[in-house]
Structure 1
């Protein structure tokens, strides 16, 4: 009898020890414990050391931290019929641990699936140019749709960002050609504006030189100074055409005037004719 009592006492002590171990739960600072007793919700446990009834109570620990969830790349056809692969990243956190446990079986998997479908839906409503340039508006639209859906799950989506947009090779080449043509157009416009400004400035300079002829000579001398920096250079500098023609005409006139008297002096005097008497 004493041996049986010892065995029973030992079993009771072991059972009590196991029950005590199974009843201890530690809820961390960033967690909340959702307690179910015989399948019914009994309350939420705050962080710290908590005790439950073994084999009767079940406590689910729910993390309240922000979770980073990548959204897999989705093959999407935009509104202008361009096929693109878009990936994104979503940030969410649980605000109601009870709904996160009771309302949905796996909150992370549910958010992952709804985020993928929402990404396809929102991006498909925009053109390619809008997808590339208006990412902030697309991110806001995705987050608003997710917030409406996930509020019943006790989850708040804090941020959604498009991470990568993959374009087909043919579209990349077309966009490169478009960018090159745009740059060529801008270069031609800038060149034309420069030519227009230069022509205006040259016209003003020519008017000034016509009013002040000595300015043209000064400019010619300045050009000679600039060219003569390299002392080994032989420069053939043409004189101004109109002034040269004028000077040549004056020279020819002077020569003609000087040659006229000398030609008259070289002519012999006329011989007088004698008359014969009859």
Structure 2
């Protein structure tokens, strides 16, 4: 049997199915008289020694391993970064045992301890920022947990179900090995919460339907989620309780006379109940109050009666003022002939404005005494 090993190859030679040697580039011949020979060719462009005999060589042929392979053994509390030709090529997870050929591309290995510090270094993070733009993909990226927090948000980092850190806007990453990592994004901007269709009885048993709107935001997201499972739902419930406290202890007339009382009571209730929970209600206001149908009719009638009474008072007052004015005018004319004559002339002027032609006989006195002939 003849074997030809090229310069970019290595061959494993087996005799009677037992490992015999690793052959360097060159030509070889073996006689079948001395045994049954077999061989396997390996391309040095593929750095990994992918063979079921890897563990056999490590245990029984240490000299062969030392001469031909780079050994990558990864502990349970570490990862190994494998560089090929100076570029990151692979992330080896904990517990890995691999052999890489020495005769291909140069291999370098960097060990990273992850027992306590499981955050990916900023240097490594820059390598992984745009993996699709690299000339060669990095194997094992799925073992890194990316944590990117957008502007106006904070990130709550949970490890094995425990909140361990609050992340500011930016990008970080963490090793997934040996732990469960989760990231919850929290919007720190002003948020709107609407409580609609709340049917509440007033103290005088009038059923009102109220719609309320509140604006709130996080003051301390870490504290909020440490004390509250769902902060938004907690605020919603407190708004409901505050509405019942504001409406249920007051009559309909009180609510109609002071429409801002609900806002004040609800706001004060929330300030008291939410203190120390890491959230803050910025503003609260009633959008509308819906009355029952029959109550609307009654209120409309009450308003109509009030307006009618006001109109009647105003009409009587104007009539009284007019009568007083006429009486004062009569008193002046009674003792002043000149004023009486001026009033007569004013009356004549008003009459003249309404007709086309006047024929006068006997002078002005005749006109004023009713001897007036009006021609169309």
CA RMSD, Structure 1 to Structure 2 (Å): 2.9
Question: Secondary structure in 2 aligned to 1:231?
Answer: coil
With normalisation by structure 1, the TM-score equals 0.75
Using the alignment, how far apart are the partners of 2:287 and 2:315 within structure 1?
A: 39
Kindly indicate whether the alpha-carbon contact (under 8 Å) linking 1:103 and 1:152 is maintained by their aligned counterparts in 2: no
Higher share in helix: 1
Q: What is the distance in 2 between the residues matched to 1:19 and 1:35?
A: 17
Q: Which range is displaced more, 63-72 or 179-188?
A: 179-188
Match of 2:188 among 40, 64, 69: 64
Residue 5 of structure 1 corresponds to which residue in structure 2? 49
Distance (Å, rounded) in 1 between the aligned partners of 2:147 and 2:91:
24
Alignment of 1:18-97 (within 5 A): 18-20=142-144, 23-54=145-176, 55-97=179-221
Aligned-pair CA distance for 1:14? 6.8
Give the corresponding residue for 2:243. 119
Which structure's residues are more often strand, by fraction? 2
Partner-residue secondary structure (3-state), 1:5: coil
Contact 1:72 1:116 in 2 (8 A): no
CA distance in 2, matches of 1:14, 1:237: 120
Q: Please give the residue correspondences for 1:253-264 in structure 2 after superposition, counting only pairs within 5 Å.
A: none
Deviation, 1:141, is 1.3
Q: Distance in 1 between matches of 2:280 and 2:241?
A: 18
For normalisation by structure 2, the TM-score amounts to 0.57
- Unpaired runs of at least 5, structure 2: 1-11, 13-41, 55-81, 83-89, 93-136, 360-365, 371-376
| Contact 1:104–1:153 (Cα < 8 Å) also in 2 | yes
User: Counterparts of 1:131 and 1:52 in 2: how far apart (Å)?
Assistant: 56
Tell me: higher relative CO, structure 1 or 2? Use CA pairs within 8 A at least 6 residues apart: 1
Q: How many residue pairs were aligned?
A: 238
After superposition, the C-alpha distances for 1:222-242 in whole angstroms (9 at most, x for unaligned) are: 2122112232588997849xx
Unmatched tracts of structure 1, length 5 or more: 241-278
